[in-house]
Amino acid sequence: MTESVKTNLLDFDRKGLATFFVGIGEKTFRATQLLKWIYQEDVTDFDQMTNLSKSLRAYLKENCTIVAPEILIEQIASDGTTKWVVEMGLGNRIESVFIPEEKRGTLCVSSQIGCALACTFCSTAKQGFNRNLSVAEIIGQLYVAQKRLGDKQRITNVVMMGMGEPLLNFNNVVAAMNLMMDDFTYGLSKRRVTVSTSGIVPAMHRLNEVCDVSMAVSLHAANDELRDELVPINQKYPLKELMGACREYAKQGPRKHITFEYVMLEGVNDSVQDAMALIKLLKNVPAKINLIRFNPFQNSGYRCSSIDTISRFKDILHKSGLVTTIRKTRGDDIDAACGQLVGKVKDKSRRHLKLQNMSTANVA
Ligand code: SF4
């Protein structure tokens, strides 16, 4: 049997593993034994899993594997932020970023190779979409990152804010987040695992029913006309529906509020009127706002608002009672800041051709 047809056990959360073991005539408690070996004892050699029967070990050796993605490149910024380029096969690469702070260490995890949603200010969007990451490839980012950091730094928080729209890879992302929070793996609290979405409303409702994590919404505009342009998925799920889903989620979510991400684009969404519209929009939503400095990239067509404009924007929100922070920019010198995760993706969407044609047409 070749390696490629073996079952990768990193692809299962506890429930999935229990089903797997029942399927081969074993008891469900094998799932917790295996999770402990892999994630807590750092053992991937089945022969060393001494509390499994000899026959089970032989079966696993024959039919299963435990394979995490591989780190290809590591870059450490002057502020300690670390970016890893991770190989996902067939030349596809994604990026995970670790942000150390005094009292916590946050890992920013990717959920897809590329992204199909075409937000106009996002560098990942420029690559088009290739494919969803598997559970093993998502939990594997945490697995390899924690191994690389060793005992000197613990990952205490995970944000699903890397490449891709997590809620369009729903089942795999939910299974991976369940794994992160499992007491037999990393035991992260549900307040410390955050899923970020551009506003896939039906999936937000579904998430509410199956997984209890914190939520961040990429908002970036306070009216439909502008948001239709910046975050095109808004044309399908406009602000009224999005705010309804946010209110529902906040009722049950672990933080009882939603974090709204708002990237500051000069002359686009940073006026006093924009701030007032934002206050009105979030009137009945338990909200915390994160203002993000835009990190320009080639041909983005946008510039970041000035520091004064961002401060003025923040003050207006703050005075209205909205908890507002300006996100610290981290890892600038290695392009690890928000919206700069590029990786290396084979664009199967033909979006780049469309863009090329569009720009040629514009020139003509
Ligand atoms: S901002 Fe997020 S959802 Fe929008 S294109 Fe970029 S990765 Fe996709």
Q: List domains and CATH numbers for the chain.
A: 3-65 (1.10.150.530), 70-355 (3.20.20.70)
pLDDT at residue 360, as a whole number:
30
CB 33 within 8 A of CB 156: no
Sequential DSSP letters for 292-347: EE----TT----BPPHHHHHHHHHHHHHTT-EEEEPPP--GGGT-STT----B---
Q: What is the pLDDT of residues 123-161, one digit of tens each?
A: 888 888 999 999 999 999 999 999 999 988 999 999 999
Ligand 1: centre distance to CA 161 (Å): 9
Ligand 1: centre distance to CA 239 (Å): 17
Residue nearest to ligand 1 atom 3, measured at CA:
165
CB 7 within 8 A of CB 34: no
Q: Tally Cβ neighbours within 10 Å of residue 303.
A: 13
Residues with CB under 6 A from ligand 1: 115, 117-119, 122, 124-125, 163-165, 198, 218
Taking 80 as the threshold, does the pLDDT of residue 331 lie above it?
no
Catalytic residue among 95, 137, 165, 261: 95
Q: What percent of the chain has pLDDT over 70?
A: 89
Residue from 263, 205, 130, 308 nearest 110 by CA: 130
95: annotated active-site residue: yes
Ligand 1: centre distance to CA 352 (Å): 16
Q: What is the pLDDT of residues 28-41, one digit of tens each?
A: 999 999 999 999 99
Region 227-255: what's the mean pLDDT? 93
Out of 31-45, 67-81, 274-288, 322-336, least confident range: 322-336
Which of 95, 97, 117, 194 gets mutated to test ligand 1 (max ligand atoms within 8 A of its CB)?
Answer: 117
Stated pTM of the model: 0.90
pLDDT at residue 256, as a whole number:
77
Between 329 and 99, where is the model more confident?
Answer: 99
pLDDT at residue 70, as a whole number:
94
Between 139 and 94, where is the model more confident?
Answer: 139
| Pairwise CA distance, residues 273 & 284, whole Å | 19
Side-chain-facing half-sphere of 54: CA atoms under 13 Å? 0
Between 50 and 352, where is the model more confident?
Answer: 50
Ligand 1: centre distance to CA 234 (Å): 12
Which two structure tokens, joined as six digits, stand for 234? 């808004």
Residue nearest to ligand 1 atom 4, measured at CA:
119
pLDDT at residue 19, as a whole number:
97
Confidence class of residue 359 from pLDDT cuts 50, 70 and 90? very low
Taking 60 as the threshold, does the pLDDT of residue 303 lie above it?
yes
Residue 130, sorted as left (phi over 0), alpha (psi -120 to 50) or beta, turns out to be alpha
pLDDT at residue 152, as a whole number:
85
241: annotated active-site residue: no
